[in-house]
Amino acid sequence: TNNTDTNPRLCRSSAVAGYKQTLGADAPPACYDDLQQAQCIFIVGSNTAYAHPILFRRIEDAKAANPAMKIIFCDPRRTDTAEIADLYLPIQPGTDVALFNGMLHIMLWEGWTDAAYIAAHTTGFDALKATVRDYTPDMVSQLCGITKDDLLAAARLFATGATGDPARRASTLSLYCQGLNQSTSGTAKNAALINLHLATGQIGKPGTGPFSLTGQPNAMGGREVGGLANLLSAHRDMANPQHRAEVAALWGVPTVPSTPGKTAVEMFQAAADGEIKALWIACTNPTQSMPDQATVRRALERAEFVVVQEAFSTTSTCDYADLLLPATTWGEKTGTVTNSERRISRVRPAVAPPAETRHDWAIAVAFARQLEHALKPGQPSLFPYSLTDPAEGVEAVWNEHRESTRGRDLGITGMGYAMLEVAPQQWPLVEGQTTGKLRLYEDGIYPTADGKARFANTLYKPVAEPRGSRFPFSLTTGRLRDQWPGMSRPGTLGRLFGHVAEPVIQMHPQDMARRLINEGDLVHVTSKRGSIIVPAQGSAEIAMSQAFIAMHWGEE
């Protein structure tokens, strides 16, 4: 089947599409070292202090070492990350594209764009220029709910950094995460932000670039091997005939499916409709993490056969399993992971796995061999990886993936396990090279047909479900300091609940007073898709007509 999808579908697919639409490849062009070299850091759609705490410590260190560095923070809710910002933009939810287009409007008016870079290394700017002409400061400030002065300050800082001198171009690094990605206009948000970097030539240089922060460990690695329904290995597209032929030759099969498979959301809808009869779920808890929970649970109830491959039998999805396969945890595995800056690291087991567990890849290989035996008896196996020696098997899988990257933008043909045993390495790193690239596009050449980056003609679209008389609040979500997405692991540790012991809905105190809600009152929160009863908590961090519930809790 080609109906195979992974967690990046929920957290990173918009970032992938934004990079590919503008720069030509799913490849973050910046690196962590750029934090120390940036004159301005633009953080948008990310509570970095809680969601990426180690990275946030590096931002704090960079600010301490260079107090002149400016930090812009953009988020509807005033989180802990705002405390480090020189400029805080509390925009209305979903207005990011309007903000970015408005900033570009000001940069054009003030002459803060890099005309030489635009002419030499990009296409499509004239169409975007005509579009952003309409995004005047009056219009954008009203849409976003910020002042014109703050909008002007954001554009100035992005373009000129700490100098404030238009003649001295800034080095600006943008950091962004789920606030841009998890949206009906997520791709446009990503592309509109990248437009700002292309328009000012702030890419491929120290301290610059659009740097999308990965939501989960190895989300980058999952995409590298083709872990989305529309992808094949090494950033190949399933819809591309040449890409399919290359992968078929590598795998030793006549063809691969020509039609992209269903995404995770589409798969559950198809199972709920009876189109898909069986579901195999590995290393994820969709009865908590997927949107539209009613459809997800209906799909699991209707499916004729549900396999759950899990390390923790306490997850709510396990309740729907017809077959439960015990898998190893991260501390019991060997292999590699790739982080947000394209850096591949070796992972080694800290402890031996329990006797009856198997590694995820080994489960897949064993199942594939059973299928081969049933469907093609006597034929050589297409899965010749050692199951008796996991270390040997894992390296063989990695070597095959390495070969699949030959000639691709993420080429790693110059890497090997011996090199990774010494130190992590960034891609691309091809044969004949000794180190990978810190940052991409330093030469201004992009992986597109003409070698140029492409401006995306992004238009602001209102949120899919705006506030109204029946639903007068916008609900935002995010992470807590001491919890990880679905609590599968940290939810078993009581001490981690010392920060926030139970789910609450945070509201502006004036909204609570207007509705005669007191601190701690139980309130019935209803959307078009479901409802929940939680205690109310007043918070000045929340704007009027907005509310916040942390993302972690499910049935708990």
**445 CB neighbour count, 10 Å cutoff:** 15
Same structural domain, 506 and 410 = no
Q: What is the structure's pLDDT at 221? A: 86
Same structural domain, 131 and 201 = yes
Q: Which residues contact 527 (CB under 8 A, 6 or more apart)?
A: 471, 475
Of residues 292 and 451, more confidence is placed in 451
Q: Which residues contact 526 (CB under 8 A, 6 or more apart)?
A: 471
Tell me: the pLDDT tens digits for 475-532? 998 888 877 777 766 767 777 777 788 889 999 999 999 999 999 999 999 998 888 9
**Crossing angle of helices 137-144 and 96-110, rounded to 10°:** 160
For residues 192 and 456, the answer to whether their CB atoms sit within 8 Å is: yes
Domain range enclosing 487: 474-548
Tell me: the pLDDT tens digits for 157-166? 999 986 666 6
Q: What's the pLDDT band for 6 if we cut at 50, 70, 90?
A: confident
- Name the nearest CA neighbour of 347 among 394, 288, 383, 281: 394
Six-digit token string for 5: 């999808």
pTM above threshold 0.75: yes
pLDDT of 555 higher than 80: no
Q: What's the pLDDT band for 554 if we cut at 50, 70, 90?
A: confident
Same structural domain, 201 and 303 = no
The label of the residue with tokens 């110059």 reads: 414
The label of the residue with tokens 């015990």 reads: 326
**Residue 455 belongs to some domain of the structure:** no
**Residue 8 belongs to some domain of the structure:** no
Of 194, 216, 238, the one marking the end of a domain is: 216
Q: What's the pLDDT band for 437 if we cut at 50, 70, 90?
A: very high
**Residue 25 belongs to some domain of the structure:** no
Tell me: the pLDDT tens digits for 19-29? 999 999 999 99
Q: Give the DSSP H or E segment for 305.
A: strand 305-310
**Residue 444 belongs to some domain of the structure:** no
Same structural domain, 238 and 178 = no
Average pLDDT of every residue of the chain: 93
Same structural domain, 192 and 54 = yes
Strands (E), 199-239: 209-212, 231-232, 236-237
Q: What is the structure's pLDDT at 138? A: 98
The label of the residue with tokens 């292309």 reads: 198
pLDDT of 439 higher than 80: yes
pLDDT > 70 in the chain, percent: 97
Of 168, 197, 216, the one marking the end of a domain is: 216
- Cβ-count burial 358-376 (b if 16+ within 10 Å, e if not): bbbbbbbbeeebeebeeee
Q: What's the pLDDT band for 545 if we cut at 50, 70, 90?
A: very high
pLDDT of 236 higher than 90: yes
pLDDT of 254 higher than 80: yes
pLDDT of 466 higher than 80: yes
Same structural domain, 353 and 270 = yes
Q: What is the CATH number of the domain that holds 365?
A: 3.40.50.740
State how far the Cα of 378 lies from the Cα of 151, in Å rounded to an integer. Answer: 68
Q: What's the pLDDT band for 167 if we cut at 50, 70, 90?
A: low
Of 195, 216, 237, the one marking the end of a domain is: 216
pLDDT of 33 higher than 90: yes
Mean pLDDT of 417-427: 96
Q: What is the structure's pLDDT at 219? A: 82
**Residue 555 belongs to some domain of the structure:** no
For residues 107 and 199, the answer to whether their CB atoms sit within 8 Å is: yes
Range picked from 44-53, 142-151, 285-294, 328-337 for highest mean pLDDT: 142-151
Q: What is the CATH number of the domain that holds 500?
A: 2.40.40.20
pLDDT of 274 higher than 80: yes
Number of domains in the chain: 3
Q: What is the structure's pLDDT at 163? A: 65
State how far the Cα of 428 lies from the Cα of 408, in Å rounded to an integer. Answer: 9
**284 CB neighbour count, 10 Å cutoff:** 22
Say if strands 40-44 and 70-74 run parallel, antiparallel, or are unpaired: parallel
Q: How many residues does the chain have?
A: 556
**Residue 272 belongs to some domain of the structure:** yes
Same structural domain, 346 and 227 = yes
Same structural domain, 269 and 292 = yes
**Residue 102 belongs to some domain of the structure:** yes
Same structural domain, 485 and 510 = yes
State how far the Cα of 80 lies from the Cα of 499, in Å rounded to an integer. Answer: 14
Q: What is the structure's pLDDT at 496? A: 76
Q: Which residues contact 473 (CB under 8 A, 6 or more apart)?
A: 467, 507, 511, 545, 546, 547
**Residue 174 belongs to some domain of the structure:** yes
Q: Which residues contact 60 (CB under 8 A, 6 or more apart)?
A: 84
Mean pLDDT of 254-264: 91
Same structural domain, 206 and 240 = no
Q: What is the CATH number of the domain that holds 110?
A: 3.40.228.10
Same structural domain, 65 and 191 = yes
Q: What is the structure's pLDDT at 162? A: 65
Q: What's the pLDDT band for 556 if we cut at 50, 70, 90?
A: low
Same structural domain, 300 and 324 = yes
